[in-house]
Every structure is written in structure tokens, then in C-alpha cells.
Chains A and B, each alone.
Chain A
Amino acid sequence: MKRITIDPITRLEGHGKITIFLQDDGSVANVYFQVPELRGFEKFSEGRPAEDMPQITQRICGVCPEAHHIAATKALDDLFHVEPTSTAKKLRELLYSAFFVTDHTTHFYILGAPDFVMGPDAPPAERNILGVIAKVGLELGGAVINTRKQNHWIIQTVGGRPIHPCFGLPGGVSRAINEEERAQIEEIAKQSVEFGNLSLKVFDDVVLKNKEYLDMVLSDTYTQKSYNMGLVDENNKVNFYDGKVRVVGPDGKELCKYAPREYLEHIAERVEPWTYLKFPYLKKVGWKGFVDGKDSGVYRATPLSRLNAADGMATPLAQEAYDKMYSTLGGKPANFTLATHWARLVELLYAAERLLELSKDPEITSTDIRNIPTAKPDEGVAIVEAPRGTLTHHYITDERGVIKKCNLIVGTTNNYAPLFMSIKKAAEDFIKPGVEITEGLLNRIEMAWRPYDPCLSCATHALPGQLPLEVTIYNAQGQELQKLSRGIS
């Protein structure tokens, strides 16, 4: 067979575009951040039975299918006016905790760690997971792979299928677990707690013991004083599966706390002419442009914001890690974007501890896993915390349960405005008159967006398997000065 040499650019418009305009003196005049958007999901879902939503919505995203499955399942509870059994809720949260362990592990070691372990200016050939493992040790690499594998086994066992679960039903779940499975989950949870502790130690050794890095984390370039959003339980502790959304200002004061059904009273969306993206903001504060501060309705929904929005963690080891983080960062709320990596590790430990708690719960092997809905469906809203931010599913159906309208606010959407602002601030701070624009400088601008781990077009599986990014810099006359790209040939 003839071998064809090809030139893959993945999706034609499938890459994030950062466009920087310079002034006459070479400083930054303006920055634009554009990303592609998938179209037509609302129309696609109209006319389908609502029960299909847990299966369909998890296909939107190649990174967090489990989050969509759980959010959709909870929206069906609300839609069909049925309360799941206690065991069903616990099984859902158990699967969700295992998912958080896998996702946060992936993010930290693949995405976050290379900048710190290898250094922000290290050549890209070394600044990746292979470099991290070569430096930190094969044993850690094995632990990363093993933790993911084991927790994927939990997702498959409890959820019925690997990666794309199929166990969520209105009022419960489709399958109970037996004692043998429970014991195995408990064992994996114990190992995951150890792995969570180990990961925090890696962060401690690599970042906190390096003054240069700690200074970078605390620097003004990577600081943004916006509102913080996160789901909390009845004690205002972080919760991924259930609770109320709490919003806390950059001054640490609670702005509001709302139930899922009230979300439209609190969140509005801003449209800008230069991008398809809509920018959600806090209605009560109002849209004041891409600025931070407590008079601006811009909010963040990230691991760090979740910790900022809560009063603490619901498990003991994660609470210790939480206290240590805030004492190092100078108190709450912490507005340092790069500390999001740290917060993610605190959450990783929490997810593992919660997994362990649930695996030992006496009810977890009960076969009382479903309440059959009897009421007519009309409207359902659910909110969970996805790894990248608060995830809202809202469906309206006819009395047969056929979707008439569907609205989703996905994790990353919440963060569009702050993400844009973080990139702009880094670009303004690093690109100065007379400064050569290098790969290392591009990376430091990227470091402002990496903590958000944006799921932009959910296009992560496209060959060659990475989301490309392009930065174009124009001078004051509108001429292209320089173009730097990665993942685009």
C-alpha cells in the first residue's frame, strides 16, 4: 500500500487563538482569545426522551463524561419529581469520587507538574510527563498509572461501563454492588488516599520548597481578584455531588447561596462581538467588562474557587491540607491563579477520602437502589461540580418526558471571562517594549490558562491528539509580527 505523507492540522478552526495587538512602543494594546464552539446541541436534544440525556450529554465532552452523566441523572430526579434512595445517592457519589481521583491525577501530572518540575523555561521537549517521570522517578509514574487504572475499575464496576457510565436512572441507579466489589473498592480507596498524600508531598517538595516558584505563585501577574463559585454541603464544606452553590467575593464575604432551580436568578450571560463564546456573570453584581474586583460580576469556578467559596473540607486529611494551603498563601480567599494546582491536589485527597468513607458505609451494598417515578415530568435542574467548574443541566419537557428545551452551563464556560483576563494580564506583564518574544515567554502566558484546564471544544481525541494553540502578535499598524503555535504544523 502506498504511504501518504500528510499534514494534519487537526480541526481547521479547532484551535485556541490568542491574538495580541501591540502599541507603537511594543507594549500590549489588546488581547483577544477565541476558541471554536460546537454547535447545535440544544436542537440535537429536542424531541428526544429525557431518559436519554445521561447517555447523550456525556458524549459532549471527551474529558469529563462522568460529570455529565451524573448531572443529567440528577436533573432527571428533579424532572420526574422523584427522590433517589439513600443507597443510590451514595453509589452515585462513590463513582463520582473515583472519577475526581482519576481526573485530578491526570490534570496535575500531565498538565500542571511539568511547568514546575521541569521549570517554566525548560525546552518543550523536556517539559512534559516523560520529563517529570524521568526526574521524579519511575515509581511515581507507576503510581499515577495505577491510581487511574484502579479508579477506572470502580467507574466500570459501579457505572456498568468504563468511561461512559450507564447506571444513572431517575430515582436511583440500575445496579447494586456486592460485598466482594465493596471490599475491592475500599482497598483501592485506601491506596488512593495514600496517593493523594504523596501528590501533596510532591507539590511540597517541588513548588513550596523552591522560593522562585512560590514567588511566582504569589506574583501579581498570576493574581486575579474575582468572585468564587462552588457547591457546598449544609455545613458549607466542599461537595462535588450535591448541595447549594455558594458565591464568595474577593473580600471573602458571601454574596449568595442558591439551590439549582434558582440559577437563572443569579447567572446571566454576556455576548461579545468577537467570539461565539458567551461569558456568564453574576446578575446581582452586573457586567462591568473584563475587570476583577468586587464591583465586577466576573466569577471563577475552579478547584481554587471551590475551596475559596467553602468553609473547609468534609474529610480530615483534606482539611489539614486545606489549612496548610491557606496559611502558606496568607489566608482566605486566595486569588492566586497558579495555586489552583495546589487546590486541585487538596480536592484529590478529599475525593479519595470520601471514596473510602462511602466504601465503608453500611448502606452501600443495599439493594434498595431505586424509587420508581410516578409524577408527570415537566422541568428539571441539577448542579454538580465537574473537575473544571460548576456544571448545570436544565431540561424542560412535555408531559411524556420529551425534551422541549435544554440548557447547559458547562464547567469551563463559567471560566471564559476570568480565563481571558488571566491570559491578558500575563501577556501585558511579559510582553514589554524591547523584549524578545520567545517560547519560554509564550509558555509563561500559557501558564495563566493552564490551571483552568479549559475544555474548549471538547476535541481532545482528534488526531494528533492535542488541542492546538496559536498566538499571533500584531504591531500598531496591524501587521503580523510573529506567530507562535503549538500542535499546529
Chain B
Amino acid sequence: MKTLVLGLGNPILSDDGAGIRVAQEVEKKLDDPQVTVSETSVAGLSLLDSIVGYDKVIIIDAIQTKKGKAGQIYRMKPEDFSFAKHLSSPHQINLVTALELGKMLNLVMPQEITILALEAKDVSNFSERCTPEVERSIPEAVKMVLEELKCQTSF
């Protein structure tokens, strides 16, 4: 099963880079030719370009929720974002729309997409480091990704 682990975010914008940090740590612990680890700072159509051709994709990104606690980790599916899928974006398209577009155009789309999101505290100040709260949750997120990958070997 061709799998992609994709860290999303901005590596020089504090907690925004959490997803990329997790992906980098995962890469260090992996030696599986079926798994590609990658990172990107872009969204929308470019995200679609990144995931086309894989069977399974694990996306890791930062998130901010109304009552979230910094460092909290959420495991989600693209459908969890469906509330936003029909809103036109002022800038790009969101993940769900990108996935629908891929299907519409008969691109080879992943059968399984999992999103791990880390609750961010600071996404406004330029820094190569995450805040301590988010930093502490990175090993747990790495573990979760590795567990997700283990699941696939049972296929």
C-alpha cells in the first residue's frame, strides 16, 4: 500500500510548523519503501497534487479551536471538515473540495485519508521553535502516526 505522510505548515512560524516537525521525526524512525514522508506549506490545489497516486495519506497539521488546549491532538477524517466544503474560499479551496475535484476529474485518489491536528498556541510570531506545550505533544503525535502506519501492514 503506497502511503504518504504529509506534514503541513510553516516551519518558521512557531506552532504552525508542528505538522512538519512531526513528519520529520516520523521520517527518522521509518525504513519502509512503501511510505513516503513529505512536507509542504501550501494548500488547496497543491495539496491535491501532493496526494494524487497514493493509496493512503496521513496529514499532520496545526489547528486552532475555540476551546482547545495547546498541544491537544485530534484524529480526524476529511468529512469532519465538511461543514466548510460548500463555502467558497476567498483564497483557495479547502481539503474537501480538493478531494471532490480529484474524484470528479478521475484522478487516482487515496482510499484512506487521516488527519492528525495539533492544537496550536502561537501561529503569529516567526520562530523555528514550537511553544513548550506543543513541543511536549510532538512525541505523542509521532507515536500516533507510527500506529496509523502499523495498521496498514495488516491489510
Contact = CB atoms under 8 A, between A and B. Distances in A.
A464 B81 contact: yes
B88 interface: yes
Contact of A129 (B90, B95, B97, B127): B97
Contacts of B46: 163
B61 A461 contact: yes
A487 B104 contact: no
Nearest to B38: A162
B62 A464 contact: no
A106 B81 contact: no
A110 B48 CA distance: 13
A6 interface: yes
B13 A129 contact: no
Contact of A466 (B76, B89, B105): B89
Interface in B1-30: 8-13, 16
B117 interface: yes
A56 to B, nearest CB: 7
Interface in A442-489: 443, 446, 449-450, 453-455, 458-467, 469, 486-487, 489
Contact of B74 (A6, A133, A464): A6
Given A6-B68, A148-B49, A163-B40, A114 B124 contact: no
Nearest to A62: B41
Contacts of A441: none
B45 A110 contact: yes
A465 B44 contact: yes
B94 A465 contact: yes
Interface string B89-107: 1111111111011001101
A433 interface: no
Contact of B93 (A12, A110, A469): A110
Interface in B63-111: 63-68, 74-76, 80-81, 83-84, 86-98, 100-101, 104-105, 107
Interface in B122-144: 123-127
A129 B93 contact: yes
Given A164-B41, A463-B117, A110 B64 contact: no
A63 interface: yes
A487 B12 CA distance: 25
Interface residues of A, number: 70
Contact of B42 (A8, A124, A461): A461
A467 B84 contact: no
B41 A65 contact: yes
B115 interface: yes
Nearest to B103: A130
B146 interface: no
Given A4-B74, A39-B126, A450-B90, A152 B49 contact: yes
Interface string B112-125: 00010100000111
Contacts of A11: 64, 123-124
A122 B90 CA distance: 16
Contact of A460 (B13, B43, B48, B123): B43
A138 B84 CA distance: 24
A390 interface: no
Contacts of B67: 7
A127 B16 CA distance: 30
A128, A129, A164, A465: most-surrounded residue (chain B CB, <10 A): A465
Contacts of A16: 90
A465 B93 contact: yes
Nearest to A111: B91
Contacts of B64: 8-12, 14, 462
Nearest to A489: B83
B12 A148 contact: no
- In the complex, the 3 A-B pairs of residues with the closest C-beta atoms, listed nearest first: A466-B89, A465-B94, A44-B126
Interface of B: 8-13, 16, 40-49, 61-68, 74-76, 80-81, 83-84, 86-98, 100-101, 104-105, 107, 115, 117, 123-127
Given A130-B104, A466-B89, 16 more contacts: A4-B75, A9-B66, A11-B64, A44-B126, A63-B91, A110-B92, A124-B86, A145-B49, A454-B90, A463-B81, A463-B95, A465-B44, A465-B84, A465-B98, A466-B84, A487-B84
